[in-house]
Amino acid sequence: MIQINTPKARCIMVLGTTSGAGKSWLTTALCRHYARQGLKVAPFKAQNMSNNARVVASENGQGEIGSAQYFQALAAKTVPDVRMNPLLLKPEAETHSQVVLLGQVSADLTALPWRERSSQVWPQIAAALDALCAENDVLVIEGAGSPAEINLHSSDIVNMRIALHCNAACLLVTDIDRGGAFAHLYGTWALLPENERGLIKGFVLNKFRGDAALLAPAPQMLQDLTGIPTVAVLPMWWRHGLPEEDGIFDAHCTITGELVLTVAVIAYPRISNLDEFQLLKNIPGVRLLWARSPAQLADLNINDWVILPGSKNTIGDLIWLRQQGLDAAVVRHAGQGGAVLGICAGLQMLGEALIDPHSVEGNVPGLGLLPLVTMFEKNKIVRHTQATFHDCIAAPALECDSDWVHGEVDVAAPWAALAGVKVSGYEIHQGSTRQHPAMAEAGDLARAVLPGDLAWQNGLGNVMGLYLHGLFEDPSALQALFGGNLKEPVPTLDSVFDGLADYIERHFEPDFLTTFVAGTT
């Protein structure tokens, strides 16, 4: 076991020369590595910009943080909380983001210009950082973008200001597959003030393809210029299993083994929580397809799935869906008996109408695949949820006639395997959905398959909408839906985290990870 002889956490930080260099997954791997050494570990990222968010503990009950920090906390074997990502920016348009501070939406901060915001939020960020330092042996901190964005340096609250505040030992990682890696490393180092350069303890070359011996003499030349060693060359690894933080980087179709099922996820411009589909990429026989045009749905067969995921701008993405002609393609697939699943905003789109009495997004007709109407509300619902898919065959008759039921309630094919399965997930939505009253009077009833207005199916059962995010991360749901077709256990997030730790332990310089956290590098 590593001994840490400091009065507070040893802070280590992963910086990147660019976005997409590999900061998030390396931070996650380090969290699991040090947790396996018996240390109390927590992740931290001062500010994250992402529409991939999770519901975690906060002083106010429950709040939102970026999904990357949620996964990093799980990798660290600790309970996620809002201090691990005190500031979350959720883009709603090209030049506008919703601001979430310590888990809660802040209208005042959302209205502030970008450069004025940092002075307002720094006290809360520093307090969260100090509190986590006091409670842990190791704090693994992730930077954002590049620390050498000199136009933003004066208002920095996420990179070197954080590193200086907690005297973090920093790694600087670059994506060598893009080319120019040594220039990126040297240029980033050269643009930093001297006191900040001293915090960088190692360079990491990520996504390398080929013979690492061919890199010589560049790493030594770079060390001669900067005094900083290259401590790891990480080979390209397409299928590490961790969700991408910033977008759909792996947009091409992927599959291992014989094709059993294609899952086509509609990739609208403001897609959110796309990370919840990552584990589908790890299941043999499943092809995950990110669809942006009707042509990509044309070859689906009746057994394949179409998923309408979450969105940070439901109305805007529904309009985009129609502009692309994807609305007709989805309706056609459903009309042929194909499986269609809507999650959160996707559920709202599947209904008959979306009503906006507060002029938040506007009134529009839905796709008409479920006899539901959604009413947008001012306040956002953010909460953890556990619920059991209804199973009339196993349930007492009285329960099948309870107040929340509309029509039949047993889960029908192609989702019948979920009947009686208890699942855990989270809700993040602005609006509530109910049976369309006029359609109900006409006999067109949605079939509630989860309590509390969480999920419905159409009469045939092939179309289902649910507010619950995280279905494909729940081990019970994964096993129910896919376990019968697999020769091996369904991969879990925990196995992904262990695989990440194993990977860096193989490819970092011997003993570096030990000396790095012990402060002897």
CA distance 445 to 388: 21
Q: Residue 480: phi, psi to the nearest 5?
A: -65, -45
Output the CA angle 24-125-89, nearest 5 degrees: 55
Give the CA dihedral 264, 269, 273, 274, nearest 10 degrees: 30
Q: Residue 339: phi, psi to the nearest 5?
A: -80, 130
**Nearest Cα to Cα of residue 320 among 251, 392, 268:** 268
| Catalytic site residue from 390, 436, 469, 507 | 469
CA distance 24 to 5: 27
Output the CA angle 23-181-250, nearest 5 degrees: 50
373 forms beta bridges with 353, 434
CA distance 333 to 352: 17
**Nearest Cα to Cα of residue 446 among 431, 463, 432:** 463
DSSP state of 168: -
Q: Are strands 96-101 and 432-435 parallel, antiparallel or unpaired?
A: unpaired
Output the CA angle 76-428-136, nearest 5 degrees: 20
CA distance 321 to 448: 26
Write b or e for each residue in 61-71: b if 16 or more Cβ atoms lie within 10 A of its Cβ, otherwise e: ebbbbbbbbbb
| Catalytic site residue from 344, 390, 436, 507 | 344
CA distance 247 to 271: 9
CA distance 448 to 426: 18
* Residue given tokens 């306040």 in the structure block: 379
Q: Residue 68: phi, psi to the nearest 5?
A: -60, -45
166 is catalytic: no
Assign 165 to helix, strand or coil: helix
Which residues are tagged catalytic?
344, 469
